[in-house]
Homo-oligomer: A and B are copies of this chain.
Amino acid sequence: MSSSVLSTKRAAHVAIHPWKLIENQWNAERHIESESLFALGNGRMGQRANHEETFTGDTLPGSYIAGVYYPDKTKVGWWKNGYPEYFAKVLNSVNWIAIRAQVNGVELDLNTCAVESFYRELDLEHGVLTRTFTAQMPDGTRVSVEATRILSIVRDEIGAVRFALNVDHHANVRLAAALDFNVTNHDANWEETFWNAQDAQAANREGWVVSETKKSEFRVAAAQHCTWEWAEGGELAAGASASSPSAAGAAPAAEGTWSAEARTGWAENSWEGPVNAGQTLVLTKYAGVVSSFNAPAQEVPVRAAERAREAAAAGWDALLAEHRAAWRAKWDTADIAIDGDEAAQQGIRFNIFHLLQTFTGVDERLNIGPKGFTGEKYGGSTYWDTEAYCLPFYLASADPKVARNLLVYRYKHLDKAIENAAKLGFKNGAALYPMVTMNGEECHNEWEITFEEIHRNGAIAYGIYTYERYTLDRAYLAEFGLEVLLGIARFWAQRVNWSEHRQAYVMLGVTGPNEYENNVNNNYYTNFMAAWCLEYAAYAAQYVREQHPSDYARIVTKTLFRAEEELAHWADVRTRMYYPFWEEKQLFLQQDGFLDKDLVPVADLDPAQRPINQKWSWDRILRSPYIKQADTLQGMFFFEDRTDRELLRRHFDFYEPFTVHESSLSPSVHTILATRLGYAEQAYAFYLRTARLDLDDYNHEVREGLHVTAMGGAWMSVVHGFGGMRLVGEQLTFEPALPAAWTRLAFHLVWRGATLHVELTPGTLTVNVVDGPDTEFGVGSQTFTAKKGTPVIASV
Question: Which of A69-77, A541-549, A682-690 is near enough to bind chain B?
Answer: A69-77
Answer yes or no: A569 CB below 8 A from chain B CBs.
no
Measured in the bound complex, the distance between the Cα atoms of B617 and A452 in whole Å is 11
Q: Do A617 and B445 touch (CB < 8 A)?
A: no
Answer yes or no: A616 CB below 8 A from chain B CBs.
yes
Q: Do A593 and B592 touch (CB < 8 A)?
A: yes
Q: Kindly list chain B residues whose C-beta atoms are within 8 Å of the C-beta of A451.
A: 617-619
Measured in the bound complex, the distance between the Cα atoms of B595 and A743 in whole Å is 58
Given contacts A424-B617, A519-B518, A501 and B452 within 8 Å (CB-CB): no
Of chain B, the residue at the smallest CB distance from A423 is B617
Answer yes or no: A598 CB below 8 A from chain B CBs.
yes
Given contacts A497-B598, A521-B596, A599-B500, A447 and B76 within 8 Å (CB-CB): no
Q: How far is the CB of A453 from chain B (nearest CB, A)?
A: 10
Measured in the bound complex, the distance between the Cα atoms of B621 and A175 in whole Å is 63
Answer yes or no: A771 CB below 8 A from chain B CBs.
no
Of chain B, the residue at the smallest CB distance from A520 is B519
Question: Which of A138-146, A502-510, A691-699 is near enough to bind chain B?
Answer: A502-510
Q: Do B81 and A614 touch (CB < 8 A)?
A: yes
The residue from B499, B599, B613, B621 contacting A595, defined by CB atoms under 8 A apart = B499
Q: Do A619 and B452 touch (CB < 8 A)?
A: yes
Answer yes or no: A498 CB below 8 A from chain B CBs.
yes
Measured in the bound complex, the distance between the Cα atoms of B77 and A447 in whole Å is 11
Among A74, A616, A622, the most chain B Cβ lie within 10 Å of the Cβ of A622
Q: Do B78 and A446 touch (CB < 8 A)?
A: yes
Q: Kindly list chain B residues whose C-beta atoms are within 8 Å of the C-beta of A77.
A: 74-77, 445-446
Answer yes or no: A558 CB below 8 A from chain B CBs.
no
Given contacts A75-B75, A509-B623, A518-B519, A82 and B596 within 8 Å (CB-CB): no
Interface string of A65-102 (1 = CB under 8 A from B): 00000000011111011100000000000000000000
Of chain B, the residue at the smallest CB distance from A519 is B519
Q: How far is the CB of A390 from chain B (nearest CB, A)?
A: 24
Interface string of A95-136 (1 = CB under 8 A from B): 000000000000000000000000000000000000000000
Question: Within residues 440 to 476 of chain A, which ones have a CB less than 8 A from any CB in chain B?
Answer: 445-448, 451-452
Q: Do A82 and B617 touch (CB < 8 A)?
A: yes
Answer yes or no: A597 CB below 8 A from chain B CBs.
yes
Q: Kindly list chain B residues whose C-beta atoms are within 8 Å of the C-beta of A597.
A: 497, 499, 508
Q: Kindly list chain B residues whose C-beta atoms are within 8 Å of the C-beta of A592.
A: 592-593, 596
Of chain B, the residue at the smallest CB distance from A498 is B598
Of chain B, the residue at the smallest CB distance from A621 is B81
Q: How far is the CB of A83 from chain B (nearest CB, A)?
A: 8
Q: Do B501 and A618 touch (CB < 8 A)?
A: no
Q: Do B80 and A617 touch (CB < 8 A)?
A: yes
Q: Do A596 and B502 touch (CB < 8 A)?
A: yes
Question: Within residues 412 to 457 of chain A, which ones have a CB less than 8 A from any CB in chain B?
Answer: 423-425, 445-448, 451-452
Of chain B, the residue at the smallest CB distance from A74 is B77
Q: Do B447 and A508 touch (CB < 8 A)?
A: no
Answer yes or no: A620 CB below 8 A from chain B CBs.
yes
Measured in the bound complex, the distance between the Cα atoms of B82 and A593 in whole Å is 24
Q: Kindly list chain B residues whose C-beta atoms are within 8 Å of the C-beta of A595.
A: 499-501
Q: Kindly list chain B residues whose C-beta atoms are within 8 Å of the C-beta of A519.
A: 448, 518-519, 622
Q: Do A499 and B596 touch (CB < 8 A)?
A: yes
Q: Using a Cβ–Cβ cut-off of 8 Å, how many residues does chain A contribute to the interface with B?
A: 48
Q: Do A425 and B617 touch (CB < 8 A)?
A: yes
Q: How far is the CB of A626 from chain B (nearest CB, A)?
A: 13
- For this chain, the copies found in one complex come to 2
Of chain B, the residue at the smallest CB distance from A77 is B76
Measured in the bound complex, the distance between the Cα atoms of B522 and A445 in whole Å is 28
Q: How far is the CB of A71 from chain B (nearest CB, A)?
A: 15
Interface string of A483-506 (1 = CB under 8 A from B): 000000000000001111110001
Of chain B, the residue at the smallest CB distance from A452 is B619
Q: Do A622 and B81 touch (CB < 8 A)?
A: no
Among A498, A508, A623, the most chain B Cβ lie within 10 Å of the Cβ of A623
Q: How far is the CB of A680 from chain B (nearest CB, A)?
A: 32
Measured in the bound complex, the distance between the Cα atoms of B521 and A497 in whole Å is 20
The residue from B447, B498, B499, B521 contacting A618, defined by CB atoms under 8 A apart = B447
The residue from B74, B424, B498, B618 contacting A620, defined by CB atoms under 8 A apart = B424
Q: Kindly list chain B residues whose C-beta atoms are within 8 Å of the C-beta of A447.
A: 618-619
Interface string of A593-609 (1 = CB under 8 A from B): 10111110000000000
Question: Within residues 349 to 363 of chain A, which ones have a CB less than 8 A from any CB in chain B?
Answer: none
Q: Kindly list chain B residues whose C-beta atoms are within 8 Å of the C-beta of A617.
A: 80-82, 423-425, 451
Q: Kindly list chain B residues whose C-beta atoms are within 8 Å of the C-beta of A499.
A: 595-597
Q: Kindly list chain B residues whose C-beta atoms are within 8 Å of the C-beta of A599.
A: 500
Q: How far is the CB of A614 from chain B (nearest CB, A)?
A: 7
Q: Kindly list chain B residues whose C-beta atoms are within 8 Å of the C-beta of A75.
A: 75-77
Of chain B, the residue at the smallest CB distance from A79 is B618
Q: Do B593 and A508 touch (CB < 8 A)?
A: yes
Q: Do A623 and B508 touch (CB < 8 A)?
A: yes
Q: Do B619 and A82 touch (CB < 8 A)?
A: yes
Measured in the bound complex, the distance between the Cα atoms of B451 and A424 in whole Å is 26
Q: How far is the CB of A297 from chain B (nearest CB, A)?
A: 32
Q: How far is the CB of A274 from chain B (nearest CB, A)?
A: 53
Q: Kindly list chain B residues whose C-beta atoms are within 8 Å of the C-beta of A618.
A: 80-82, 447, 451
Interface string of A740-773 (1 = CB under 8 A from B): 0000000000000000000000000000000000
Q: Kindly list chain B residues whose C-beta atoms are within 8 Å of the C-beta of A74.
A: 77
Interface string of A31-64 (1 = CB under 8 A from B): 0000000000000000000000000000000000
* A interface residues with partner B (beta carbon < 8 Å): 74-78, 80-82, 423-425, 445-448, 451-452, 497-502, 506, 508-509, 518-519, 521-522, 592-593, 595-599, 613-623
23 A-B pairs (CB sep. < 8 Å): A74-B77, A77-B446, A80-B617, A81-B614, A81-B616, A81-B617, A81-B618, A82-B618, A82-B619, A425-B617, A447-B618, A451-B617, A451-B618, A451-B619, A452-B619, A497-B596, A497-B598, A498-B598, A499-B597, A500-B595, A502-B596, A509-B623, A593-B593
Known: A82-B619, A502-B596. 10 other contacts (CB 8 A): A75-B77, A77-B77, A81-B617, A424-B619, A498-B598, A499-B596, A519-B622, A521-B593, A592-B592, A592-B593
Q: Which 9 pairs between the two chains have the least Cβ-Cβ distance?
A: A82-B617, A451-B619, A80-B618, A501-B595, A509-B623, A508-B623, A497-B598, A424-B617, A76-B77
